Structure 1
Amino acid sequence: MKKSDIPHFFAALQAANPHPQTELEYGSHFQLLAAVLLSAQATDAGVNKATRRLFQVAPTPQAMLALGLEGLEQHIKTIGLYRTKAKNLLVTCQVLIERYGGEIPRTRQELEALPGVGRKTANVVLNVAFGEPTMAVDTHIFRVANRTGLAPGKTPLEVELKLLKRVPPEYALHAHHWLILLGRYVCQARKPRCWECRVSTWCDYKPKTPAPTAAR
């Protein structure tokens, strides 16, 4: 994608959705962190279904720790890798209580030191909770960045670093949400819905998918 096309690309996404939000449901910074940790290799819809009840009974690190491992597992057993996630989440709760008074740390280094929290999770928390212009590269963003030519790369980190350089500053805060939503609902993996895409004009993907013909 030409550098001169990038502002038009993001202006179109902004016009369609001026204030994009994460689709994970949460009521506090801690609940956001927990939801993102649980969302690895799982859908936001699946996580939300489990956390609606979980956050009612355990809205804080203290309350979640009080559930114990078996209690927490019962609430999240519909989520993939729930046993490992439950163990990591409880240890994270302990660390948050002991080191941070139950609050969420605000630096990448501190976040990534928490069990189960990698770079992508830290980026989401830094962006959504603290308004930092980070790029949380998941499978959707990785696909969109490569397919459109916006920021091609062989690894999520390579794509992230390219996005940080290529996205204009005025769009940086919401860019990762726009790209996630684009990949989730339009620029889908198996069959991109090019006929619905608001940014196809600037996209490098050549075999554009035509609109389906009406059944006769």
Structure 2
Amino acid sequence: MAKQLDYTTMREIFTRFQDAEAEPKGELNHVNAYTLVVAVALSAQATDAGVNKATAKLFEIADTPEKMLELGEEGLIEHIKTIGLFRNKAKNVIKMSRILVDQYGGEVPNSRAALEGLPGVGRKTANVVLNMWWRYPAQAVDTHIFRLGNRSGIAPGKDVVAVERAIEDNVPVDFQQHAHHWMILHGRYICQARKPKCGACLIRDLCQFEDKQL
């Protein structure tokens, strides 16, 4: 695990990220808060591209919890059966939709605790929704961010909560809104697990990773 980078280095790293892409976007397609929650929940152990393909037609007919309940579990499965763990995910989406209708008037709550109380929604999913829909600077730590944070020294931590806290504590506040998006995209496309593309990395000179590749 790398040591936490100092403030000056952190500021330079995120300035470079911002200069390269000022408004990074999440890659999961959605049309409202509800479809965002569903998409993120479906993306566990699946690719964003795979989820987008499965939800393209689904969200045309079921973009609210009420419509999802009308579609039903078996109807939902027909749309998402190309996604890993689709049966369990379908059960959770239907349960989640029922709770949203019965307890929240069909609206997606915007507190982390309430979101985490929904079936199939963990801390990462809650943070993604808070950040992308309500523009709250929550840090959703996935495998890409965990790897990048520990390799580079941007946010070292033994678990995802520690990495999340390191981002919150050490990334300058003016970069907090987009921090996790910059890190996800950098981890997904540049700082890859097996063959990191260090030669194309815009923070190579600032990164603490010792086994840099060409």
TM-score band, normalised by shorter chain: over 0.9
Cα separation, 1, equivalents of 2:186 and 2:20: 11
| 2:12 maps to 1:13 | no
Which aligned pairs between 1:131-210 and structure 2 lie closer than 5 A? 131-210=135-214
Partner-residue secondary structure (3-state), 1:201? coil
| Other-structure match for 1:213 | none
Cα separation, 1, equivalents of 2:195 and 2:6: 24
Specify every segment of 5 or more residues in structure 2 that has no aligned partner in the other structure, as ranges: none
Cα separation, 2, equivalents of 1:167 and 1:28: 29
Deviation string 1:109-157 (CA, Å, 9 cap, x unpaired) is 1000000100000000000010111110000000000000111111111
| 2:109 maps to 1:105 | yes
Cα separation, 1, equivalents of 2:179 and 2:155: 12
Partner-residue secondary structure (3-state), 2:134? coil
Return the letter of the residue paired with 2:179: A
Percent identity of paired positions between Structure 1 and Structure 2 = 52
RMSD: 0.7
Structure 1 stretches of 4+ with a deviation exceeding 2 A read none
Cα deviation for residue 105 of structure 1 reads 0.1
| 2:99 maps to 1:95 | yes
Cα separation, 2, equivalents of 1:207 and 1:142: 17
Return the letter of the residue paired with 1:88: N
Partner-residue secondary structure (3-state), 1:172? helix
Cα separation, 1, equivalents of 2:7 and 2:174: 15
Q: TM-score, normalised by structure 2?
A: 0.97
Cα deviation for residue 206 of structure 1 reads 2.0
Cα deviation for residue 100 of structure 1 reads 1.2
| Other-structure match for 2:127 | 123
Deviation string 1:171-192 (CA, Å, 9 cap, x unpaired) is 0000000000000000000011
Cα separation, 1, equivalents of 2:29 and 2:180: 17
Cα deviation for residue 68 of structure 1 reads 1.1
Deviation string 1:182-203 (CA, Å, 9 cap, x unpaired) is 0000000001101111111211
| Other-structure match for 1:4 | 8
Specify every segment of 5 or more residues in structure 1 that has no aligned partner in the other structure, as ranges: 211-216
Q: TM-score, normalised by structure 1?
A: 0.96
